[in-house]
Structure 1
Amino acid sequence: MNLRRHTLSVALLAVLIAPAAHAEVALDVIADSEVSFEGLVQADFNKFDNDFANLNGDALDGSDADQELRRAEIVLKGKGPGNFEWVLGYDAKADKYLDVNAKYKLGGNGNHFVQLGQFKQPNSLEELSSTKNNDFISKALVTNTFGVARRLGAAYRFGDVNWGVTTSYFGREMTRNLAHGSGFGARGNWAPINETGNVLHFGLSYVDYDTDADTLRLRARPNADLAGQRIVDTGNMTNADRQATIGGEAMWISGPFKLQTEYMQASVDRYNNGNPRQSNDFDASSGYVSGLWNITGESWGYKDGVPTTPLPNNPGSGMWQLGLRYDTIDLNDGNAIPGATPTAASLVNGVLGGEMDTWTVGVNWYWRSNFKFMLNYVKVDSSRYFIRTPAAPYAALPANNNMLVNREVDDNPSILEARVQFYW
């Protein structure tokens, strides 16, 4: 659309004219509000070594790789008048709104405020961290599958530099036809050690929301944002009332090293669907452990319960990072019935969405103050039970396969990923 192209042009122009500094570009003081401008442009490349499913987004082009402009974000921010702050963000690539909200700091304390509008909900350490400083190209399986991102709502936070509690009530996403379902959430964070270059963090979160339209589908790509298929997938779970997710998180920063982990357990309440073989409820889980090393010696900061990424000590040579992450997800809650009549209802008791483990090795280069280059290698180990039914013989199988029937299938691809990023 024209708006998207115009917005992207403005974003790219800002990259060219922005000064070589990581901070936002100050614009003006309007109605006693100090207005500034930020932006983020990311371009990704994925090369797939397929195993079972064809992960190429355009399976007909004969290629084993995909490339895409991933994000083109522009953000206006304002401070003032008084204790008010506001933000207006838009992603021209995805054609959707980002943070669009106003915040009022109570008593002048930055960790004590009320917030109205669209914002990231209080769950997931990785989700709440800045996208431009992601440790790996794709967010973790648990974040992408169970994390609740931006929604319209209201939030209240109380705390100080070492701890905080945030509660929220939220509804749909601001952009039409995206995430729906009203609910509530809460997150508590505590840093018993919070010193320069030495931080120990713990967090606990809980979100509970209406699944909307009584249908829910949980699925995950193999840690590759451009993959054309999700290789673990519950399919549409009907008669789903609400989803509740509890999450735990921990992080340790020691000089140039950072160790981080998160785990989430999700429960879906399903009302009686008239099928005595089918369990009313569904439980799933996911988590990750990651380690990062700043080879050039920089350490992280800590603010509002999330880490902050530093500038390079030597901008000319930049900051180099090495990272390793292990991800796991389990979307199985049921079992196959041996010898049953080959229909979807009789073959499975419960839901068998599959299991997946991935290892990601990555290297990041923050060059000067506005450029970042990332290279990741992902190795996947997954299995999923596929069903062939008389009504739809291969409905559950990937498009490139026409021979496998009612049995568990292993899918173990590997993926090479690259990202180029400009931000200001």
Structure 2
Amino acid sequence: MEQSKKNKRKIFNDPVLGFISISDDLLFDLLEHPYFQRLKRISQTGLSNYVYPGSTHTRFLHALGSTHLMQLALQVLKDKGVIISKEEERAVVTAILLHDIGHGPFSHALESTLMEGMHHEKVSITFMNLLNKEFNGELQLAIDIFLDQYPRKFFHQLISGQIDLDRLDYLRRDSFFTGVSEGNVNSERIITMMNVVNDELVIEAKGIYSIEKYLTSRLFMYWQVYFHKTSMTAEFYLIEALKRAKLLTKKGVDLPASGILKYFLNKSDYSNLTVEDINKFAQLDDSDILSALKIWQNHEDKILSILSKVIIQRNLPYSRITSQPISASELKKLQKKAADFYQVEDGSYFVHQNKLSIIAYEDEKDPIRLVLKNGTVIELQDMDNQVFIKDLKRKISRYHFCIPRGLESL
């Protein structure tokens, strides 16, 4: 008989943050759970590796890193006299560990495509509820904190806010693996500046420039990595390939794919998310999609074949990001040209325009608060010595456009 594991104290060697310790039995059991292990097979940054070859890190690594930063933050707050019970500490660390457990293949790239209209946070909370039943209610406080239903607001702010541990990890991690140094934030410095006033998260005023650097780094990462024209084009074609596959399946075409992927190709109504849906989703990862695309390259449906070849062979179309969009009528003309070019019935699979927008600092939705030496709390934008905040509050919008090569000059 196989002996049960007794050592639940583990240390992971993370290339970004160094040694990460797991010293709680519940955390270890959650790490070992198949729901969580799946994240090792989910790309953190979609198809960004089509532009930055080193960007092959996973959601698993990000979840571990966020957990480590949460442990550091809680220790900083306790050292400053913030009373945090063992139950609260375990719950908020559990919540950050599981905050992205609902991501599907290629993370945001295929969100709401495989399970139409389903945001990853809703899937995450569904996973958490199932785990809570499995672990006899031990995750209930973590769920309350995750949903911002716990009265001590700073716990939720550490998970989801303008300076949360999620962002402090993914900016630094994505910067490291892409090699884009502009995104490298000093997460430890920001964490040491954290404090709590009236159960809300604040930053000590002397950390103002670290905060401004963090906000500008996030802005640069969006335009240089997350909104990169080439990776966005690859992700658009990936989405279109899955949409085409779902349409063909609906028409009765039996596409070659794994049994798990076939389940999602055949189903379209997720208004009532079932336990079967979630358990099937827990078995789905990047490999199911890539394996199918490799096969679909040679499918008799020309649209599916072309889309699959573009992704697998990285034979990407022309793309650009501009400040002004092309008109709807012009877009339709170009889609018609693409249909004629490929001799297919629908060119909208190949010509695409999408609006991209980012606000580095949303002061109205979730203002960052600083605490002065005299204990006064002031919002970041009201500080006299801030440098970039007024510019960072401005919404920046651009338009991503892609079209098959050879048609871009038409």
TM-score, normalisation: structure 2: 0.28
Higher fraction of helix: 2
More strand by share: 1
